[in-house]
Amino acid sequence: IIMGSTSFGKGSVQTIIELDGGYGLKVTTARYYTPNGRSIQAKGIVPDIELKNISLENEKEESVAEIKENDLTGHLEQETPDNMSADEIVDSQEKIQASLDKKAIEKLKKDYFVHEATNLLKALTVLGK
């Protein structure tokens, strides 16, 4: 399922070859196609579920992190490495948490597309049970 807005439609990759005298030559080196062979050039990808970008500033703030892997059907069971102590595991988790980019997390909380995709995943999880 593709959610969002129609993509830009840039369906090619150009490479610039530097020439003498400060000149260059731009050549198309690749093109993008959908799995069924349609070029996306100038048309883009039309999503299955079209979304318009709106601001979530005034909406109830809901963390993307509220969905846990354990909530998903077919999740992997928890495994603890045999060679790590409980303190090492906690320390490792704290280091990972501390390294998260807080600005990116705040942006995700306010991103309407992420919010709607999260809602879709929740719905699919409920329907799958």
Strands 12-18 and 3-4: what pairing?
A: unpaired
In this predicted structure, what is the pLDDT of residue 78? 54
Euclidean distance between CA atoms 28 and 26, whole angstroms: 7
In this predicted structure, what is the pLDDT of residue 13? 93
State the residue range of the domain holding 20: 1-50
Is the model more confident about 54 or about 92?
54
Judgement on whether residues 39 and 83 belong to the same structural domain of the protein: no
Judgement on whether residues 45 and 79 belong to the same structural domain of the protein: no
Residue 106 CA: distances (Å) to CA of 14, 55, 68, 102, 110: 35, 13, 18, 6, 7
Judgement on whether residues 81 and 109 belong to the same structural domain of the protein: yes
pLDDT tens digit sequence for 34-85? 999 999 999 999 999 999 878 766 555 545 545 555 555 555 555 556 666 7
Judgement on whether residues 58 and 42 belong to the same structural domain of the protein: no
Instruction: Please provide the average confidence, as pLDDT, over all residues in the chain.
Output: 80
What domain count does the chain have? 2
Torsion sign across C-alpha atoms 45, 47, 50, 55: negative
